[in-house]
Amino acid sequence: MKKSIFILALLTGILFTSCNGNGEKADGYGNFEATETTISSEANGKLLFFSVEEGQLLKKDDIVGVVDTIQLSLKKAQLLANKKSVFSKSRNVLSQREVIKEQLKVAQNDHKRIENLIKENAATQKQLDDINGQIEILKQQMISVETQNTPIVTEVKSIEVQIQQIEDQIKKSIIQNPLKGTVLTKYAEPHEITAFGKPLYKIANLDVMELRVYLSETQLADIEIGKEVTVKIDANDSMKSYKGEVSWISDTAEFTPKIIQTKEERVNLVYAVKVLVKNDGSLKIGMPAEIWILNNKE
């Protein structure tokens, strides 16, 4: 019986001392994260085309879908017709202004001629007064015509703004992927009705993963932003190593998350640290990993 207890204790000791293959303990533990972006619809209507699949790698500015734009196109055509109709009104007003402008030019020439004739006693003051009155009337008519054209110009500008709004909506009906990344989740299918703000898919750039670990206050002296560390993940019966770079260190302490330490150790205060790791395709969101700080221990 004593022999069996001794063998069990020996095996337990071997198990603990063989952790990580060399008996040493990692400096921190955590899980990989990535910045996830949810792409939502910016238009209302039916998805005529939507080519997104989970796990698909998308490039920036890839066209991945189109929302029905028939109603928007019809509305734009109507606005263009209205603009043309209003322009015709403006042309009529402007043609009247040109006629008055020519009449005013003739009257001003007559005014100069009559003034010269008066100097030679060949014209009367009444003729000069008559032409001055005619010029004043033409000037008032010019002001009246220009006043009539002002609301027409305002209406045209209003229609142009509406056309620009429609064109912007049509542009947003074309679903363009905003960033390079891998599709994590797909929320919509072709021919479904979508609406403004409705999620279509979730994407994340997995080329560089972010490992969030928690370190004690005593370990902070060994790290700084930009420091290179070793990151390890489980790989079959061994550990696979990566080079990592510290990108962020929290300036406030927090209680150790439950998933990191035992119940007894959770009362300890720790600091969150983020480490950037270049992904070779093996690293996944949520995957556990450990870091080694001092001398980049392998």
CA angle 176, 181, 187 (to 5 degrees): 65
The reported pLDDT for the residue numbered 260 is: 53
Contact 260, 193 (CB under 8 A): no
Task: Supply the pLDDT for residue 115.
Answer: 84
Q: Report the alpha-carbon distance of residue 108 to residue 142 in Å, rounded.
A: 14
- pLDDT at site 296: 47
Q: What whole-number distance in Å separates Cα of residue 30 and Cα of residue 276?
A: 13
pLDDT along the chain (298 residues), means of 10: 36 37 74 96 96 96 96 94 85 76 85 84 83 85 78 88 96 96 96 96 96 90 92 89 95 71 58 95 94 68
Give strand pairing partners of 234: 239
**Predicted local confidence at residue 163, as pLDDT:** 96
Q: Which two tokens mark 85?
A: 């109709």
- Three-state SS for 190? coil
Contact predicate 53/186, CB 8 Å:
yes
> For the range 96-104, what are the long-range contacts, defined as Cβ-Cβ under 8 Å and sequence gap of 24 or more?
96/145, 97/142, 97/145, 97/146, 97/149, 100/138, 100/141, 100/142, 100/145, 101/142, 103/138, 104/135, 104/138, 104/139, 104/142
Say which amino acid occupies 240: K
The single residue listed with the structure tokens 């969030």 is 212
